[in-house]
Amino acid sequence: MSVGLCRASQVAEFFPAVSPKIVVREARLEDCWEVAETHCSSFFPEYSFPLDFVLRVDRLAAMLSGFSIPNGCRRTCLVAVTGSSVNQTFYIGSEDFKIGGFDGKFSLNRGYVTGILTVDTVADFLPRKGPLRQRRTGIAYISNVAVRERFRRKGIAKRLIAKAEAQARSWGCRSIALHCDLNNPGATKLYKEQGFKCIKAPEGANWPQPKTSPDIKFNFMMKLLNTPITT
């Protein structure tokens, strides 16, 4: 009786990658809980059970029901995932079906969410235009950038930003903007390295800002999408 042995090449076929591969794509419905988990663990790390669970449920509900946007505007949530490949993933569902900005496709090999980012053209947090305070057009806005703690400093945020810029270009945007916490010099440095510049509000101007703690102060940063990154 012979005993079957697996060669190294055969083992590799069953376990194709020891180091997880990062893929950046649009979030799907199946990612919702991990997106909420990534968001809350990054922005509210001090909370413990049961409040942390309540925050995640609240975030999940907001993502699914609160993504209504004005006509003509666009919004999508991007995720960085490990353990899946665009070429090796089997999908169920349709790209045309979306709930709350999430792709309606389901994957049998979806991977694990390590980072998130939202990009839109809603212009809620952009300076209004003219005396009638009209919404700005042609400017995409990045928000909710978060990477799980054990995956930080691996270039994931840069890849999410690059994907957001590509998405904005596909929407016909000429520039992209964001707000960055003044007390987060690491994030400010990251955005500057990607070509963003700090824009100072004119004296007396009341520019909109993200709704967070009143103690948090922000840098408003912008980048022209045809501006190459200097190295």
Mean pLDDT, to the nearest integer, of 76-88? Answer: 73
SS3 55: helix
Structure tokens belonging to residue 3 = 């005993």
According to the model, what pLDDT value does residue 53 have?
Answer: 63
- The conformation of residue 227, written as its DSSP 8-state character, comes to P
According to the model, what pLDDT value does residue 62 have?
Answer: 66
According to the model, what pLDDT value does residue 126 have?
Answer: 93
Domains of the chain: which residue ranges? 19-177
Beta strands 75-82 and 102-103, pairing class: unpaired
Sheet hosting strand 175-181, strand order edge to edge:
22-26, 75-82, 112-120, 139-147, 175-181, 218-224, 197-199
SS3 145: strand
Point out the residues that are catalytic: 191
Which CATH architecture group holds 19-177? 3-Layer(aba) Sandwich (3.40)
According to the model, what pLDDT value does residue 55 have?
Answer: 65
Query: pLDDT per residue over 26-66, tens digit each?
Result: 988 888 888 888 877 777 766 666 666 666 676 666 666 65
SS3 211: coil
According to the model, what pLDDT value does residue 84 have?
Answer: 52
According to the model, what pLDDT value does residue 89 have?
Answer: 44
